[in-house]
Homo-oligomer: A and B are copies of this chain.
Amino acid sequence: MTNQQSDVLLSLDEVAALSRAALLRQGLAEAHVEAVTATIVAGERDGCASHGIYRLLVCADTLKTGKVAKDAIPVVDDRAGGVVRVNAKGGFAQLAFQRGLPLLVEKAKRNGIAALAINDCVHFAALWPEIEAVVAEGLVAFAFTPSHAWVAPAGGTKPLLGTNPIAFGWPRPGPYPFVFDFATSAVARGEIELHRRAGKAIPEGWGIDAEGRSTTDPAAAMAGAMLTFGGHKGSALSIMVELIAGPLIGDLTSAESIALDAGAKASPIGGELILAIDPAGFLGGEAAQHIDRAETLFDAVVGQGARLPSQRRFEARKRSLAEGVRVPRKLYDDVLALVR
């Protein structure tokens, strides 16, 4: 569909400018525009096509449903010694995260471990930008968020769980931390949708139809339920995400979020849980030498021909910072149309 000739070459500054223009035009308040733009630029920069400027179209659709508070001002609540909550007041998660981050870092460094709960936010992005922001402070980070009830538990037949990503980060010397961020569903929902559009069958194990039978028909799986990765183990992890980024922090499960959506097809509303651990809390002055010891593990992974998670993403980042990014003409035009 696209070829190099029909791609548009953009610098990252141009991506940012395009994102700002598109989001302002949708009526999003400036502080949110800046926070969301940082995520969009990061996604495009790292070669995550579905989390780059394409997401501006998703954002715009979600904003049109009226389900996002465009000028929400997040409220930071300093709870127990190790806990901070930020009420996003129905706005996008990014700004709420930015506002809560300094206190999370301060608490993690003071106590060795701390948690940040974001409540009542609209979530449409990957979790790795948040992970990387915490890890940049020298901390180990975890993040979890439910989504919409699209996924059946192992052994079940009906959608109940979200795609429920789990993300983790570990500081490394140099610019690139160890980071992973994956859905606990077998694949992203968008992947099934892409197969449907292309008229292609999906592999066994991605979804079941409305009667709970294994299916290779993407439309049947979208109407039925997605499956978790890794059978009952992935299912258990998905339920864990529901619990710790739902009721534990006083927020919605994926089933509650999709009920609230009531067919509007907006991005999921709910909570997000971020944990931060300071190696110095365990190890004091010896932390650095042990963090260095982890490099032996990473070297052994790469040394046997395996890849580290995010390796491809960091390679894309290096390229994008040097050369800019190529965006398909059609996508570029669609995003430009948001500005007009």
Residue numbers of A with Cβ under 8 A of B are: 79-83, 85, 110-115, 117, 140, 152-158, 160, 166, 168, 170, 178, 180, 182, 184, 229-237, 239-240, 242-244, 246-250, 253, 255, 275, 277-279, 281-284, 286, 290-291, 293-294, 296-297, 300-301, 304-307, 309
Contact = CB atoms under 8 A, between A and B. Distances in A.
A83 B281 contact: yes
B180 A236 contact: yes
Per DSSP, chain A at the interface is mixed
A191 to B, nearest CB: 14
A152 B307 CA distance: 12
A306 B112 contact: no
A237 to B, nearest CB: 8
Contacts of A153: 301, 304, 306
A178 B239 contact: yes
Contacts of A246: 293-294, 297
A239 B178 CA distance: 10
A82 B198 CA distance: 51
B157 A250 contact: no
A163 to B, nearest CB: 12
Contact of A275 (B111, B113, B166): B113
A277 B117 CA distance: 12
Given A297-B243, A305-B155, A277 B115 contact: yes
A137 to B, nearest CB: 15
B282 A79 contact: yes
Contacts of A242: 294, 297
B306 A156 contact: yes
A286 B304 CA distance: 50
A111 B83 contact: yes
A254 to B, nearest CB: 9
